Amino acid sequence: MYFKMKSITLKCLLIIAIFDLCGFPALASASINVPLNSSLYGDIETLSARGLIKSDLSSTKPFTRSEAGRLLAEAIDQTEKEDISTFPAGFLERMSKDYKDEISEARTPGSAPGTFIKPVDEFSVSYNFLDGPFSIYNNEGIDYFDGSNTMVQFQSSGRLWNVFSFYIQPMFICNQRYNDIDGNDDTEIRLHKGYVKFAVDDFEIVAGRDSMWWGPGYHGSLLMSNNAKPFDMVKISNPRATLLPWIFSYLGPFRYNLLLSRLDDNEHKITDKSTGDDLSKPYLYGLRLDFKPHPLVEVGLSHLVLFGGEGRNINFTDFFKIAYSNKNRDGTKLESNQEVAVDLALTIPNVGRLIPLADSIKL
């Protein structure tokens, strides 16, 4: 029963995601992603809790800058219709300044330049000295050790002919040995993130390295978060929340992420004891659907499949048997590890009279 229900559910999710490819065009331009550590996400949720944004899908991240501009434009339009005298002064103005080009483009498609390059979009140097027990999480796999930790990074981005965009984030990390602790020395130069995008209407394909977050949690998520390093992938998605055609429009604003990656670990070799197959460098397939049937309710469905490896020759037909069949194929090349998650977020606005310290509650 479990395998049949799982198969039916996952097939329905895949059909809905494919259905969205035939949805109505939204004339979105290629736009880079907003990093997951940006304050934008918390600010968007604040605006949503105040009822100024109704079409946000906050459980699937990252947003593109174009989507952020669309949401802020929605909030600005709503403030013109409602009394927001109790809203913190300058809050929306500050956000609007940071995304003024994207807001303008959301109001008037094509108003932003179709081609631009920012060689150094942002530059930062950070230093941390740690001594004693500590816990650092959701830090995109950046390790800190006891002692001095220095990190230098910069970001470059650009857009080409309105359909291509790119983002590059090199990083230099130096962790100095402290108190003669073995293994506490590490100096590394790496491409922390980097990707190129192609976007037409409401279709976007990304190739490169980035982080993702699937779920409404703030400190963790069920399947996908930025606790690990950004990984290489090919991802297909709709960059902005859209309405599906026909009766599926009742699902409300909708987004999907579909990804394929091959994980790389050159330090460890994993062997299947029963078959002798080399399981190093397996494939990772993921599908995430996020929709909002009510302005206060958001529902997410996620599916991850880990399969294949160096010693297993997997073709396209094999992949569909692995991801969407009812059979357990342990001990064969079609063996996999699959996880399915369902998450729900409920926002309860205007609770200030009952709880003076809060404007809203999110469960």
Q: What are the DSSP calls for 298-351, one per residue? A: EEEEEEEEEE-BTTB---HHHHHHHHH-S---TTSTT-EEEEEEEEEEEEEE--
Whole-model pTM above 0.85? Answer: yes
Q: pLDDT tens, 305-328?
A: 999 888 888 888 899 888 888 777
Per-residue pLDDT band at 179 (split at 50, 70, 90)? low
Number of Cβ atoms within 10 Å of the Cβ of 84: 16
pLDDT of residue 309: 87
Per-residue pLDDT band at 1 (split at 50, 70, 90)? very low
pLDDT of residue 58: 93
pLDDT of residue 107: 87
Contacts for 16 with CB less than 8 Å, ≥ 6 apart = 244, 248, 256, 289
Average pLDDT value over all residues in the chain: 85
Q: Identify the domain containing residue 54 by its residue range.
A: 2-362
HSE on the CB side for 130, CA within 13 Å? 17
Per-residue pLDDT band at 49 (split at 50, 70, 90)? confident
pLDDT of residue 87: 59
- By residue count, the chain amounts to 363
- Indicate which CATH number applies to the domain containing 205: 2.40.160
Q: For tokens 């790389």, what's the residue? A: 264
Instruction: Say if residue 213's pLDDT is above 60.
Output: yes
Domains held by the chain: number:
1
Instruction: Say if residue 25's pLDDT is above 50.
Output: no
Q: pLDDT tens, 67-101?
A: 999 999 999 888 877 765 555 657 788 888 889 98
Number of Cβ atoms within 10 Å of the Cβ of 130: 15
Instruction: Say if residue 8's pLDDT is above 80.
Output: no
Q: Cis peptide before 62, with omega less than 30 degrees from 0?
A: yes
CA 96 vs CA 72, 159, 198, 246, 254: distances in Å: 7, 21, 26, 34, 24
pLDDT of residue 90: 75
